Amino acid sequence: MSLGIGERAPRLELLDTSGRSHVAPSGDPATVVVFTCNHCPYALAWHGRLAAVARDYAPRGVRMLAVNSNDAERYPADSPAAMVERVAREPGSWPMPYLHDASQEVARAFGARTTPDVFVLDADGRLAYRGAPDDDFDDPARDAAWLRAALDSVLAGEPVARPRTESVGCSIKWRP
């Protein structure tokens, strides 16, 4: 089961790569929860665009959380240590915290399927957009346009014109 548009998102509380706890939803004007990881080329191709959204919308009260839910045993590139190493290796590329969902409960509660898989929550914590950042992982000029349009609508208190798009990427690697 996936979280439906208009439904209240489950509460998440996860630790980032420096051990700090993050809770959502927590009353921000909008929250972006993006399921991502280290080893997927789709997630990597879109990462810069997502980071730009985090930077551009932070002054407007938008909070972005990047969540890695992959099975780190079978995919060691997604282990907590590898997450820490990546954030240290890419200074300036992480305006959002990188959270580890070791139990995979958050991914299951949201119904996330791919990396990346983008969920936008409004100020009430209700799902306003779910899908891909934009329509082409291979074209940085697309600039996460779907995500930006969704955030603009949520911040304006308007319904999102296209609240659901197809999530494109690697499957989340579930534990056996």
Residue ranges that bind other proteins, judged by CB under 8 A:
39-42, 44-45, 75, 137-138, 140, 168-171
Q: Which is nearer to other proteins, 115 or 153 (CB)?
A: 115
- Phi, psi of 62, rounded to the nearest 5 degrees: -85, 135
What's the closest the beta carbon of residue 29 comes to other proteins, in angstroms? 31
Question: Residue 160: which residues within 8 A CB-CB, separation 6 or more?
Answer: 120, 128, 129, 149, 150, 153, 154
Whether 111 and 35 have beta carbons less than 8 Å apart is answered as no
What's the closest the beta carbon of residue 27 comes to other proteins, in angstroms? 35
Residue 146 CA to residue 101 CA, distance in Å, equals: 25
Q: Which is nearer to other proteins, 49 or 63 (CB)?
A: 49
Q: Which is nearer to other proteins, 40 or 128 (CB)?
A: 40
What's the closest the beta carbon of residue 88 comes to other proteins, in angstroms? 19
